[in-house]
């Protein structure tokens, strides 16, 4: 608690695990229904989109609906509360669901994009509206190219400036949270090690217990939606 209350600059990296208690499947959870025979990693690539644009568009339409219906959970709310208390707070997320912003987190860096935005596959520019003439995927009103979700696919680089800001937050923070992430996807996963090497205290919150290397790394095992509100309550003696 001292570490949390006394921290000047806090950074947090979140993954699919923080949205699990909002009813959204993680990447480790088997997909359901139409999608059970696909691994997310196989659909979330430019190659998969070029091979079968309809299939990939419809997969994102399915996830967009699930994410639209989901509500932020107490874990999201607790991070927004930490932001309100901390002098400096940066939330770096791998999630494309926008639930952090819906929980009133302000300083959010979306490393892998956001499913509610759409881009032209040819021109690589954001597209706000297009003619709903039933084409799947729809086409860009400017160049006629296919439209795609504004997310980062495997093999595609992260938005440079966003990743630079995330690196900076990891280097200059004195407390770094890694929450609900398996740490398998790069370069996002390397942020925890960047923070640790820069001398930050690391707090890992995950259901799974990981063999821990170094003493300056705390591990809290359990659902983020229960652990984070408790941390806030104990640090600042108030509700989430
Ligand atoms: C790139 C958007 C330049 C789309 C996503 C170095 C080494 C090896 C490979 C690479 C490397 N560098 C680059 C690569 C290739 C690749 C990569 O990392 N591959 C992996 C699979 C090995 N990286 C890339 O391609 C990146 N681009 O590097 O460009 C380049 C290109 C090629 C080669 C070199 C350089 C782009 C990566 C971004 C891809 N897009 N998402 C979409 O969502 O559809 S990644 C996507 O998967 C998510 O955004 C997230 O990042 C990842 C899933 O991971 P998590 O979020 O951690 O979720 P997961 O399900 O795995 O784990 C959940 C955890 O939560 C579990 O631990 C569980 O125990 C826990 N949990 C569950 N419930 C709870 C909980 N914890 C707490 N509370 C709970 N209630």
CA of 118 from ligand 1 middle (Å) equals 21
62 catalytically annotated: no
34 has pLDDT over 70: no
In tens, the pLDDT along 105-150 reads 999 999 999 999 999 999 999 999 999 889 999 999 999 999 999 9
Q: Is the CB of 180 under 6 A from ligand 1?
A: yes
Backbone dihedral region for residue 237 (phi beyond 0: left; psi -120 to 50: alpha; all else: beta): left
In tens, the pLDDT along 53-105 reads 999 999 999 999 999 999 999 999 999 999 999 999 999 999 999 999 999 99
Which atom belonging to ligand 1 lies closest to the Cα atom of 154? 25
213 has pLDDT over 70: no
Spatial distance between the Cα atoms of 92 and 12, rounded to a whole number of angstroms: 6
Which atom belonging to ligand 1 lies closest to the Cα atom of 44? 44
Computed over every residue of the chain, the mean pLDDT equals 93
Alpha carbon nearest to ligand 1 atom 42, residue? 44
Spatial distance between the Cα atoms of 166 and 13, rounded to a whole number of angstroms: 9
Catalytically annotated residue among 62, 76, 85, 112:
112
Q: Is the CB of 65 under 6 A from ligand 1?
A: no
Predicted confidence at residue 39, as pLDDT, reads: 84
CA of 229 from ligand 1 middle (Å) equals 25
* Contact between 99 and 70 (Cβ < 8 Å): yes
Q: Is the CB of 229 under 6 A from ligand 1?
A: no
Which atom belonging to ligand 1 lies closest to the Cα atom of 29? 60
CA of 40 from ligand 1 middle (Å) equals 10
CA of 183 from ligand 1 middle (Å) equals 7
* Contact between 108 and 97 (Cβ < 8 Å): no
């Amino acid at each position: 608690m001292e570490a949390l209350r006394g921290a000047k600059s806090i950074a947090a990296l979140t993954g699919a695990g923080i949205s699990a208690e909002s009813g959204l499947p993680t990447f480790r959870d088997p997909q359901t229904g139409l999608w059970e025979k696909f691994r997310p990693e196989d659909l979330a690539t430019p190659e998969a989109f070029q091979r079968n644009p309809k299939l990939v568009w419809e997969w994102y339409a399915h996830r967009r609906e699930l994410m639209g219906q989901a509500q932020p959970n107490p874990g999201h709310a607790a991070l927004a509360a930490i932001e309100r208390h901390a002098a400096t707070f940066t939330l770096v997320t791998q999630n494309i669901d926008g639930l952090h912003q819906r929980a009133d987190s302000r300083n959010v860096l979306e490393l892998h994009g956001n499913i509610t935005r759409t881009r032209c596959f040819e021109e690589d520019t954001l597209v706000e509206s297009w003619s709903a003439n039933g084409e799947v995927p729809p086409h860009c009103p400017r160049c006629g190219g296919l439209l795609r979700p504004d997310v980062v696919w495997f093999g595609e680089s992260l938005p440079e400036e966003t990743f630079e800001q995330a690196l900076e937050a990891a280097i200059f923070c004195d407390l770094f949270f890694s929450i609900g992430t398996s740490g398998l996807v790069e370069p996002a996963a390397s942020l925890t090690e960047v923070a640790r090497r820069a001398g930050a205290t690391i707090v890992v919150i995950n259901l799974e217990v990981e063999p821990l290397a170094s003493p300056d790394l705390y591990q809290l095992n359990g659902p983020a939606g229960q652990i984070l509100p408790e941390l806030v309550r104990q640090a600042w003696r108030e509700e989430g």
